[in-house]
Structure 1
Amino acid sequence: MSAFGFASRLPALLGIRVPIVQGGMSWASSSAALPLAVARAGGLGVIAAGPMRPDALVDAIREIRAGTDAPFAVNIPLYNKRSAEFLDIAEAEAVPILIVSQGGPRAHLARFHARGVKWIHVVAGPDHATKAEAAGVDALIVVGGEAGGHPAPDEVSALVLVRSVVRATALPVIGAGGVADGAGIAAMFALGAEGAQLGTRFLMTEEASVHAAYKQAVLGAGIADTRLVGRGGLPVRQIRNAFTDAVDAAERAGMGKDDLATLYMSHTLKEAALDGDVALGKVEAGQTAGLIDDCPPTALVMQRLIEEAEAARRRMIG
């Protein structure tokens, strides 16, 4: 049983107290502060390696180790040009848990399982889930179309996507997309998941390392104020701004695929997250932005989530 009463294999598997996973968010958790705060509060804190320099990743891992004995994870997208180096660092630094996306796990699993590392694979649907299970991963993360950043490109909602993966596999499933509070966590368990991953909720904490203007843009957004841009490639869900309006207009005007790709790549998440350009930068956030109205310390968010999830469970059982 987890700390809020739902049955889950994840605490025993991963060594965490509660099956709440902080999404690996480029820049927001590409440092020690947010993952460390989540780990200290009993959840699974996740370093987002994607935009990091190798030396910065090593420093973040060591800072978390110095700050807590609790487990934590590093998120590595295998398409990243530095993924091989990130994997080497994770091995050398004895990272206990890897969360891996956008590539096949089979070539890497034996190496990490031999060291006792748990491998959680991010999948886009039941077909990917069964392949990952056959390869030998330890658990799965399934991200619905509501999520910020890079959700599944077919835009299927978490309500359907999580359920389809739970039905297809015997592995523990962590549901993500559209979860901002304890009621959302309870919904994931009702679908058969054994944990929930939250991104935007943890983005909106004091410890998330993004520009204040970025957080203010998310704080001011409603549930219908995100847009999915870059369809046909690696789509990203972000807060609507001048950049998304330009992409929408270009698509409606019938701009060619190559020119659309150039337009899509003309602005970045870094512009918003580090420089505070929320008009043209990619302000990545999920639809749950419209459910979030504060930016408190992570410890308070974790306390709320646990209490809300338990209250939701009690409502469900009458």
Structure 2
Amino acid sequence: MRLETAATRLLHIDVPVVQAGMSWASSSPDLPIAVSEAGGLGVLAAGPMRIPDLREAILTIQRSTDRPFAVNLPLYRKGIDEAMELLLDLRPPVLIASQGGPQCYLTQFHDVGTTCLHVVASEEHALKAAESGVDGLVVVGGEAGGHPPASLVSTLVLVRAVVRAVPEIPIIASGGFVDGAGLAAALSLGAAAAQFGTRFLASDESAVHPNYKQAVLAAGIGDTRTVGRGLGMIRALTNTFTDRITKLEDSATDIEQRRTEFHASTLKHAAVDGDIVNGKVEAGQTAGLITALLPAADIVTSIVQEYQDATSQLPRVQ
């Protein structure tokens, strides 16, 4: 299967399907390998990984596939300098950086031949990143799980605004995409690929606890909530944790008390320990559209097939 766009040409992949870098879910080699082998871009999530584990994971991917893959690196992570040194040494084909500005890494990675994508959640940040010389942008809209933009502007609007603002570089649209119809929608907005997070979270190769996967399968489209405004807002499945934080926010509780409660629960509690009641079960609104766990390769294949079906049914101008 091949579906060529500006993003597939930039990243040297077969189809414009990017698997999101998701802490714990893709912080091990299996999911990135499966997606890359299927023709998309698999992404290793470096955020929660210890340096020795990160090194071994990258080496495992390099030994297991000759297809391009990416490493997602949150620039605020603990030990960022050591992590960047490691990546410069191992030279992953693609770096997807988030939570910071590109000036601190761009020249170094370009010098070793790594393609650099930067994650943005506003038109303003997209313009700044493009001006700095990044090779492409991942634009995250309000439907996304994990860390959507604080404005909660929808992907439909935000991606279109960024495409109009920086038409010269490839845009990867993220937030609200689960199938081939979503890919068609992303490309129709002017994006060159779509990023799929929650869909790959609910895959066989995803490394999160089975309880987490089942919670995603059981969710409806209205079963996520954004909590933690001013504290690093997240979108997560509704549970005891989100109910508690929402109550504190609604009652205008002091921010320091909210901070304590917000950070008492973690993504690791849900993703690793399986506590889907009190942990942060981060997921996008597309959780309500997912009905089955599938191998990652099958997900890539089905997205492309559904894209073909969706576009073939569009009415033609007479």
- TM above 0.5, one fold? yes
C-alpha deviation, 1:119, in angstroms: 0.2
Q: Which runs of 5+ in 2 are unaligned?
A: none
What is residue 270 of structure 1 aligned with on the other side? 268
C-alpha deviation, 1:3, in angstroms: 2.2
Matched, 1:26 2:1: no
Matched, 1:312 2:277: no
Q: Please give the secondary structure, in 2, of the residue aligned with 1:74.
A: strand
Q: Please give the secondary structure, in 1, of the residue aligned with 2:264.
A: coil
AA aligned opposite 1:73: A
C-alpha deviation, 1:274, in angstroms: 0.4
Superposition pairs of residues 1-318 of structure 1, within 5 angstroms = 3-4=2-3, 8-169=5-166, 170-316=168-314, 318=316
Moved more, 211-220 or 8-17: 8-17
Alignment TM-score, normalising by the size of structure 2:
0.97
2-structure distance, mates of 1:20, 1:296: 16
1:243-273 deviations in Å (ceiling 9; x for gaps) = 0011111122221111111111010000000
2-structure distance, mates of 1:152, 1:8: 26
AA aligned opposite 2:201: L
AA aligned opposite 1:174: I
**Percent same amino acid among aligned pairs?**
51
1-structure distance, mates of 2:165, 2:253: 39
Q: Please give the secondary structure, in 2, of the residue aligned with 1:301.
A: helix
Alignment TM-score, normalising by the size of structure 1:
0.97
2-structure distance, mates of 1:160, 1:312: 21
1-structure distance, mates of 2:108, 2:45: 21
AA aligned opposite 1:212: P
C-alpha deviation, 1:317, in angstroms: 5.5
C-alpha deviation, 1:313, in angstroms: 2.0
Q: Please give the secondary structure, in 1, of the residue aligned with 2:105.
A: helix
AA aligned opposite 1:235: M
C-alpha deviation, 1:107, in angstroms: 2.6
Q: Please give the secondary structure, in 2, of the residue aligned with 1:46.
A: strand
AA aligned opposite 1:311: D
1:86-143 deviations in Å (ceiling 9; x for gaps) = 2111111111100001111113211111111100000111111111111000000001
C-alpha deviation, 1:79, in angstroms: 1.1
The number of equivalent residue pairs is: 315
Q: Please give the secondary structure, in 1, of the residue aligned with 2:314.
A: helix
2-structure distance, mates of 1:73, 1:13: 13
AA aligned opposite 1:254: A
Moved more, 222-231 or 76-85: 76-85
1-structure distance, mates of 2:79, 2:220: 36
8 Å CA contact 2:17–2:193 kept in 1: the answer is yes
8 Å CA contact 2:91–2:113 kept in 1: the answer is no
AA aligned opposite 1:186: A
2-structure distance, mates of 1:105, 1:126: 15
Q: Please give the secondary structure, in 1, of the residue aligned with 2:85.
A: helix
